[in-house]
Amino acid sequence: MSPDRAGNLISTKPALSELTVACLNGVDDCVIGGPLDQISEFQGHCKARKIKTKVLDVPFAFHTKAMDPILDHLEALGRSIGFATPTVPIISNVFGCFFQAEHLTGSYFALHAREPVRFSEGLLDLQSSAPLHNALFLDIGPHPSTIPMVRSLNRHGSSTYLGTLQKSQKAWESISATLASISLLKTPVNWREVFAGTSASMLSGLPGHPLKGPEFFVPYREQLQSVEQGETSLPSLRTKTRFNLLPWLKPQPAPSDTFVFETTLQILGLLISGHDVGGTAICPASLFHELALEAVETAIPPLVGQTLVVTNMVFASPLVYKPSKEASVSVHLTKHTSDGGADFQVSSTSAGDPTESLHCTGVVSLRDQDVFDSRQIKDAALMKRQKQYFDTVGKEHCSIFRTRVLYEVVFPRVVRYSPEYQSIHHLRVSDSNLEGIGSFKLAREPGTGYVSHPVFTDSILHAAGFIANTAVKDRDVCICARVDAVEISYRDMDFGGTFQIYCSLLEVKGAFLADAIVMDASGQVIAAVRGMTFSRLRLSTFQRMLARKSTDADNEIVMDVGGFSIEDMDYNKPLDELGIDSLMQIEIASGLARAFPFADKMNHRTLSQCETLGSLEIALGLMLQSSAEPTSVVGSPKMVDEQPPDSPTPAPSTRILSDSIRDNPVALHTCNRESTPLCLFHDGSGQTTTYARLSGYDRDVFAFFDPSFGSTRKRYETIPQMAEDYVSLLSKSTHSPLMVGGWSFGGVVAFEAARQLLSKGFEVKGLVLIDSPSPVNHRPLPKEIITSITRSSRSDGQPREGKHNAALEEEFQRNASLLQRYGADPSAMARMPGLKTVMLRSQDVMDTESLVGLRYDWLSSQNDRDASIAAWESLVCGHIKVLPIPGNHFEAFSPANIAATGSQLWKACQHIESS
């Protein structure tokens, strides 16, 4: 949010009257200071406007009236100091410009504490007074905190940005690295002064021979012979098709349900180069659609009266065209044995690199014309109704865009279309930016040699894409990531005619879902594209993604969230040793999902399975390759690779892909032993991260997470409703007998799940409570404690610096409320006599009064915790065996205690089985 916008918001809200802009950090970045209650109110207004905020961990609201009590003392101190004109130019954060003589007064230090920090204004003054090409910005401080702000404000990409100290690095190492970088910029460094006062040994002189010899340039000459030989031999191995875009069919062993077609990037180049996204020519979805149709028309020709429909198109990675790049593009077709359709995938390989890159997958189905006709009747009625609305009532509530404005003014921010693609004559877009109607005609004669002309298909897609992009900011871009169905009556169609198009969009979780209907001049619906998903992301991020490998963006996101330098990025060190804890994982997962909209399975649960940055890199790479593959619904959790009985649990990096595509419950470990399986239920965070850290498994273990966390899915209203949903996912034939358990809130869910499982005929051998409070007359965890815990220090002991994820606090508070309501009427609670129960009890209490200034006995009093166990015994109608685990309640699964907690958990399971 810009400082001006923040100031305007504050000035229009009386409830925010004591807030002021304390720091002007950038064009869209500022700090607000004032009373905490008003800060919270301000956050609420920002959240409603989808503006990100972060509460800073500072003791006072610096640069606000909170500093007034010390101003007199600072002025007195300032008057006692003599000032001199600076010998080097210095920018004042008080005045937002270079120091002037009149600035050096005794009140300067008081102004420095009270006035807003005008950082961005100072940098703009620097830019206006000095050329910054190849400038070096050096942050002198405990951590390079100003570098991101300078980088965002500096217009010159040739500048260099360096820090001096890094919080995660030894001072000497950090400073030495900075000096080395400076020396590489041909800036002289007085190395003897650097090492003055140390025990470093110095050379008294240089060798007597020259250290720099002559340079030789040997021009690189590409080896073309093998490529030429391969090209001359290929025609004899391939069958020629009747299509120009997809000219070759590779021979396959007979009989075979698999077909491989080939073309080249040069053949597709004309159609790709007309679709320039952010300075890069990438293959449009319409071209993938045409390649799929041509492949099926050749390999599996449809019958008379049948039309090919492409469904479930997912775009895994962009196919980038460069005139100098030689690449082969393949379409792999796998015929269905039942319905005559086929699965397809489009991939490419570059010359000299056998690695295959996956770009698009989907399904081609055969549809009878009568099915087409029935859907088109409904589409025609809808389109005629909406056209009438736009012609009457909606006429005053829309904007009209014509060809020149569309393609020369508005569209170039996102996509530059060549004249061949500039087909839309006009488009009327509603004020909601979620609906539009218009007309289009192909700019050139359509020609022949296509199944469905790709420019016709692209006109439908980019009309919807244009409307989506009018609804986002200039710095954002909406990119098509998926298309559910493309239905075009291409047989006997006159592609040279004029067509009417209607588009309808919905905004869901930051993405836009769109449908489009096309009608010809006679009023007949001849095409519909359904379920277009436009993912929103930063244009600059997407441009970087096109130019880099995924791991480059991966590194950048991790470094940005964690405040790391490139030297900190140890790919073999555990994430917790790097200081990447569960809340930081949420931020990283969110950043990856924004940067890679095609990896739609990247979430906190997936990321939590990665032990190292190396495994994260592997997981992201696999996900980008597999995101387009259709997944089937599974009835029960099953590991992709079953483990032999005595094999250890695979490392998370080998399980990550299968976990990410599977629904509840997550299979943490399978070993095919005779031991009774254990089902664990999530704690108050809704996540299974804690359980994923366990080791030493002696049985199959599954874990349930809250599927509504971070999604638009309806929330659970009661614990019985939650447990009922989880229990419905278990199969009696697969999961009976079983044991249930959970940490904290999860133990109560496990208790309710056990009750429901028993009523359904499951054999529940026992219940393991991991320091779970009794639900009887339970007092919910106070909001202050939840906030303190979720914002607590990182696992490496450093203060948390990541953006706080409000969704986690909200999940904790919601589940605390569910727990309170569940035990509000003890007389109505079911008893389960004979349910063997073990409690893993944390040995330490927690001083909540020192932490947040209020008392919460269940965490801080052993007597209250003893009473809680007695209440549990009344619910299970029997004695509960208690096993101690180290630490307080929130430390049960910390890195220091996880081994002991895991050992006691397996001991508890063995006790239940042996009883």
Q: Which residues are catalytic?
A: 275, 458
Task: With beta carbons less than 8 A apart as the criterion, state whether 482 and 536 touch.
Answer: no
Residue 23 has which token pair?
A: 């720091």
- Which residue has tokens 């170039």? 412
d(CA 394, CA 400): 12
The radius of gyration of the chain's CA atoms, rounded to the nearest angstrom, is: 32
Return the DSSP state at 407. I
Which residues are registered as beta bridge partners of 528? Answer: 487, 517
Amino acid at 333: L
d(CA 262, CA 28): 48
Q: CA triplet 722, 723, 726: central angle to 5 degrees?
A: 90
d(CA 896, CA 795): 10
The span from the first CA to the last CA of the chain, in angstroms, equals 62
Q: Nearest 10 degrees: CA dihedral of 701, 706, 711, 715?
A: 160
d(CA 565, CA 181): 14
Pairing of strands 29-33, 20-26: antiparallel
DSSP string for residues in 446-498: --SS-SS-HHHHHHHHHHHHHHHHHTS-TTEEEEEEEEEEEEE--TT--TTSE
User: Burial code of 48-61, b = ≥16 C-beta within 10 A, e = fewer?
Assistant: eeeeebeeeeeeeb
- Which residue has tokens 């025990």? 199
DSSP string for residues in 738-781: EEEEEETHHHHHHHHHHHHHHHTT--EEEEEEESPPP-TTPPPP
- Which residue has tokens 């006035």? 115
For residue 386, the SS3 value is helix
Task: With beta carbons less than 8 A apart as the criterion, state whether 545 and 552 touch.
Answer: no
- CA distances 139 to 132, 135, 187, Å, are 16, 13, 17
d(CA 66, CA 68): 6
d(CA 800, CA 739): 37
DSSP string for residues in 786-838: HHHHHTS--TTSSPP-SPP-HHHHHHHHHHHHHHHHHTS-GGGSPP-TT--EE
Question: Edge-to-edge, what's the strand order for the sheet holding 320-321?
Answer: 320-321, 280-282, 275-277, 415-417
